[in-house]
């Protein structure tokens, strides 16, 4: 079977993008998923939509370069659909989330709730119910963790409130001595009802909420949302707007990589690394503020372009700082590489080999550190990436060291891209007016955030409202990989391994 | 090792002068004077993300960098609420974190202070109140100081923390009259 035969059934292609829309029956969904997997592809997103007072349609986005498929699966009245968790392991939690929010069940065996804890009753579905019923009496629920039994096995329960300045989640370790036999994650603590909230906002305002799905990836989410909206509205983005967005996206990548490189040094006992990299990050944020008006670019990307243009003097400040940053990072990279203590902690810790990474469907930065090539900036490049000649960075070892090294590689590449944009920024407007899309218009946005591919599925309701907006974070695919990465490692290495993935809780929990 | 030392020496001291306490951020006038009597300005903070988008956490992290250097002011982040004098809470408070936040608050010894950080912690922000969001931190626990912003800059968060532990102008006046 091949993916090509499905292409003959494509219903339409989004203008200006490599996204093909495809309508399939529920019973065909597994076959299509298998063909995508056989072509080395990934399931990037899965969500349900309610148009008639119940969830009547399932949507999926898959990518098998060079093809991105936006799949629509109309559901029968009984709402069931075949699960694909054996084809794409990350689908299991996505299918459970679809049930928690929309009330349609896959044939997947794991029917435990995923995003629902005790905030709403199990027979109410937040994307269908109107109004939502009152929360259940008990604010606590029981979750059926998988028990590991045997001589000397015990459990360590960590979270939701963690011992650092990090997001909440729960980790259940089954250990013998200090060796981890099994880790089971439980997420959903920061579920804020983002998808229902979207339906209360005007479609031209939704980018503000999108930017706050995961604040560390604000540019990527806002861009992905705006990309979907602009495709629906037929907006032709001025070239300068696209270039400014790419500038912002790469600055977001550099800032996060700097933060992570410092934190990874610190987690391996090298506090100097944290002091140095956090200093560099602070100066980058200040240069960003001078150039674009904000330290963190939460509302920089708006429908039709960017909120503001470059401050002319800011370009010089930013460019000069990036030259200095390059020198400083090169020096620090040398220190990290020659520090035997760091090497000892980084090498061989939390390994996900390429074969396992391919099976799990690891994406983004962690995927590329485990030999998985996918980078939407190359494989589904939107303007201006096709013109930027981005170098794809990959590593094969799949351990903490590979994820550290890949951050150094990508950081240099992003600095190069930003400096190139600063020199070659096209003239013209930084934004254009966007018309309100017609009710029923659908669009998909895909942007490679620093962590991995961010997908936003958008459907317009009547009078400029949002019928449905589904943001999907790359963390959905990589959280399950962390459970594999920790097996056989010791508990004290978990913070380091976890940090090397640095996955989003908020982006996942929605 | 030599390169590391050279790097440290080359960097020098980059710490800036901290901002003045921001009185306008204070929302609760019940003063926790005992904290200051007992601890002076030294303070242990437990950060709690009760549902944030993680944007505020990025700026709270920045407080530890050598430029804001919060530890040089005698303020440090601790791993347990039982060791804390002050809870630095980001929101909105998700319903799934409501119990954990209350328990964290209860586990913090009295007298204690709470600083709510960010627009969401202040009022629910873009997420508002809903089936899964309790909105502002003050809807769940008592809050002394609110630092709005999305996210507020590190200097602003620091000014809010300092407001929480500094005498209010009223109290300073009373103090000087004695």
The domains of chain A, with CATH numbers, are 1-145 (3.30.460.80), 153-186 (no CATH), 191-235+436-473 (no CATH), 238-296+306-433 (1.10.645.10)
Does residue B29 have a pLDDT over 70? Answer: no
State the greatest distance between any 2 C-alpha atoms of chain A, in Å, as a whole number: 70
Contact by Cβ (8 Å): B117, B152: yes
DSSP 8-class letter at A431:
B
**Residues 93-132 in A contacting B (C-alpha not used; CB under 8 Å):** 117-120, 126, 132
pLDDT of residue B172: 45
Q: Does A284 touch chain B (CB under 8 A)?
A: no
Which residues of A are less than 8 Å from B47 in CB distance?
Answer: 164-165
- Mean pLDDT split into 10-residue runs, chain A, 510 residues: 81 66 93 94 95 88 91 87 95 96 93 94 91 82 90 92 90 94 96 96 97 97 97 94 97 98 96 97 96 95 96 90 97 96 96 96 97 94 92 97 98 97 94 94 95 97 96 97 96 96 97
Does residue B146 have a pLDDT over 70? Answer: yes
Phi, psi for B157 (deg, rounded to 5): -60, -40
Average pLDDT over residues B44-70: 94
Question: CA nearest A129 in B: which residue?
Answer: B131
Contact by Cβ (8 Å): A281, B154: no
Which residues of A are less than 8 Å from B150 in CB distance?
Answer: 212, 298
Name the pLDDT band for B176 (thresholds 50, 70, 90): very low
pLDDT of residue B31: 39
Q: Using one digit for the tens of pLDDT, what is the confidence trace for B113-141?
A: 999 999 999 999 999 999 999 999 999 99
Q: Looking at the complex, report in whole angstroms how far the Cα of residue A190 sits from the nearest Cα belonging to chain B.
A: 4
DSSP 8-class letter at A393:
P
pLDDT of residue A313: 87
pLDDT of residue A312: 83
DSSP 8-class letter at B132:
S
Adjacency order of strands within the sheet including A453-460 = A442-448, A453-460, A466-472
CB atoms within 10 A of CB B13: 7
Does residue B32 have a pLDDT over 70? Answer: no
Nearest to A135 among B7, B67, B95 (CB): B95
DSSP A452-463: SEEEEEEEE-GG
CATH architecture of B13-165: 3-Layer(aba) Sandwich (3.40)
pLDDT of residue A314: 87
Name the pLDDT band for B30 (thresholds 50, 70, 90): very low
Q: Looking at the complex, report in whole angstroms how far the Cα of residue A331 sits from the nearest Cα belonging to chain B.
A: 8
Contact by Cβ (8 Å): B136, B127: no
Enter the ipTM: 0.93
Does residue B167 have a pLDDT over 70? Answer: no
User: Is there a contact between A167 and B48 if contact means CB atoms under 8 Å apart?
Assistant: no
For residues A442 and A61, give the distance between their C-alpha atoms in angstroms, rounded to a whole number. Answer: 13
Contact by Cβ (8 Å): B32, B144: yes
User: Is there a contact between B11 and A276 if contact means CB atoms under 8 Å apart?
Assistant: yes
Does residue B41 have a pLDDT over 90? Answer: no
User: Is there a contact between A218 and B8 if contact means CB atoms under 8 Å apart?
Assistant: no
Which residues of B are less than 8 Å from A218 in CB distance?
Answer: 55
pLDDT of residue B36: 56
For residues B30 and A114, give the distance between their C-alpha atoms in angstroms, rounded to a whole number. Answer: 41
Contact by Cβ (8 Å): A510, A213: yes
Kindly list the domain boundaries of chain B, sorted by start residue: 13-165
pLDDT of residue B173: 43
pTM: 0.94
Contact by Cβ (8 Å): A38, A44: no
User: Is there a contact between A197 and B127 if contact means CB atoms under 8 Å apart?
Assistant: yes
Q: Looking at the complex, report in whole angstroms how far the Cα of residue A420 sits from the nearest Cα belonging to chain B.
A: 27
pLDDT of residue A420: 95
Alpha helices in A149-238 (DSSP H): 194-198, 206-210, 218-233
User: Is there a contact between A197 and B11 if contact means CB atoms under 8 Å apart?
Assistant: no
User: Is there a contact between B65 and A278 if contact means CB atoms under 8 Å apart?
Assistant: yes
Question: CA nearest B55 in A: which residue?
Answer: A215
Query: Of B91, B67, B77, whose CA–CA distance to B150 is shortest?
Result: B91
**Exposed/middle/buried for residue A205 (C-beta within 10 Å: 0-12, 13-18, 19+):** middle
Q: How far is CA B33 from CA A120, A462, B28, B39, in A?
A: 41, 56, 13, 10
For residues A174 and A169, give the distance between their C-alpha atoms in angstroms, rounded to a whole number. Answer: 17
pLDDT of residue A338: 95
The more confident residue out of B173 and A471 is A471
DSSP 8-class letter at A200:
T
The more confident residue out of A64 and B39 is A64
End-to-end C-alpha distance for chain A, whole angstroms: 36
> Is the Cα dihedral A291, A293, A297, A303 positive or negative?
negative
């Amino acid at each position: 079977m091949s993916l090509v035969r499905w292409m003959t059934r494509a219903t339409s292609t989004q203008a200006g993008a490599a996204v093909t829309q495809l309508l399939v029956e529920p019973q065909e969904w597994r076959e299509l998923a298998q063909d995508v997997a056989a072509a080395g592809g990934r399931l990037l997103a899965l969500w349900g939509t309610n148009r008639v007072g119940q969830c009547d349609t399932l949507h999926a986005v898959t990518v098998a370069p060079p093809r991105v498929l936006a799949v629509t699966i109309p559901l029968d009245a009984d709402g069931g659909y075949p699960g694909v968790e054996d084809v794409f392991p990350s689908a299991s939690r996505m299918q459970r989330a679809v049930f928690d929010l929309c009330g349609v069940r896959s044939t997947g065996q794991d029917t435990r709730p995923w995003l629902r804890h005790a905030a709403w009753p199990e027979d109410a579905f937040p994307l269908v119910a109107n109004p939502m019923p009152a929360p259940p009496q008990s604010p606590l629920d029981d979750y059926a963790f998988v028990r590991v039994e045997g001589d000397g096995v015990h459990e360590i329960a960590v979270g939701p409130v963690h011992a650092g300045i990090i997001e909440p989640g729960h980790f259940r370790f089954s250990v013998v001595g200090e060796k981890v036999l099994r880790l089971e994650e439980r997420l959903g603590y920061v579920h804020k009802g983002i998808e229902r909230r979207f339906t209360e906002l005007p479609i031209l305002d939704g980018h503000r909420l999108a930017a706050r799905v995961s604040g560390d990836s604000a540019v990527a989410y806002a861009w992905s949302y705006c990309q979907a909206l602009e495709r629906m509205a037929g907006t032709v983005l001025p070239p300068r707007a696209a270039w400014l967005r790419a500038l912002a996206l790469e600055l977001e990548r550099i800032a996060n990589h700097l933060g992570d490189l410092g934190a990874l040094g610190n987690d391996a006992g090298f506090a100097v690394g944290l002091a140095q990299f956090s200093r560099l990050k602070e100066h980058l944020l200040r240069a960003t503020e001078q150039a674009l008006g904000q330290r963190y670019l939460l509302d920089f990307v708006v429908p039709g372009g960017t909120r503001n243009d470059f401050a002319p003097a800011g370009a010089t400040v930013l460019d000069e700082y990036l030259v200095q940053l390059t020198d400083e990072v090169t020096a620090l990279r040398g220190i990290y590489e020659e520090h035997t203590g760091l090497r000892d902690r980084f090498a061989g810790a939390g390994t996900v080999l390429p074969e396992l990474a391919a099976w799990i469907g690891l994406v983004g930065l962690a995927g590329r550190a485990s030999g998985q090539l996918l980078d939407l900036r190359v494989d589904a490049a939107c303007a201006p990436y096709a013109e930027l000649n981005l170098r794809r960075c990959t590593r094969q070892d799949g351990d903490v060291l590979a994820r550290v090294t890949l951050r150094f590689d990508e950081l240099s590449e992003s600095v190069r891209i930003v400096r190139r944009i600063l020199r070659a920024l096209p003239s013209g407007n930084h934004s254009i007016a966007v018309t309100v899309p017609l009710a029923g218009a659908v669009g998909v946005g895909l942007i490679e955030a620093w962590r991995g591919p961010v997908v936003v599925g958008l459907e317009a309701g009547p009078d400029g409202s949002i019928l449905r907006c589904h943001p999907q974070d790359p963390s959905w695919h990589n959280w399950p990989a962390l459970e594999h990465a920790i097996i056989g490692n010791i508990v004290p290495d978990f913070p380091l391994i976890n940090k090397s993935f640095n996955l989003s809780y908020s982006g996942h929990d929605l | 090792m030599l390169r590391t030392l050279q790097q440290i020496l080359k960097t020098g001291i980059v710490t800036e002068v901290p901002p003045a306490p921001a009185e306008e951020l204070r929302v609760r006038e019940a003063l926790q004077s005992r904290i200051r009597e007992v601890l002076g300005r030294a303070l242990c903070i437990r950060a709690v993300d009760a549902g944030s988008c993680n944007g505020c956490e990025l700026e709270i992290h920045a407080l530890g960098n050598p430029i804001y250097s919060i530890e040089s002011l005698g303020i440090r982040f601790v791993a347990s609420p039982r060791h804390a004098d002050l809870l630095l809470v980001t929101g909105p408070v998700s319903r799934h974190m409501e119990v954990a936040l209350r328990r964290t608050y209860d586990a913090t010894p009295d007298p204690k202070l709470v600083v709510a950080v960010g627009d969401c912690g202040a009022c629910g922000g873009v997420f508002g109140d809903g089936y899964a969001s309790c909105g502002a931190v003050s809807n769940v626990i008592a809050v002394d100081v609110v630092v709005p912003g999305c996210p507020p800059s590190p200097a602003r968060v620091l000014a809010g923390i300092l407001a929480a532990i500094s005498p209010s102008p009223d109290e300073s006046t009373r103090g000087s009259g004695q």
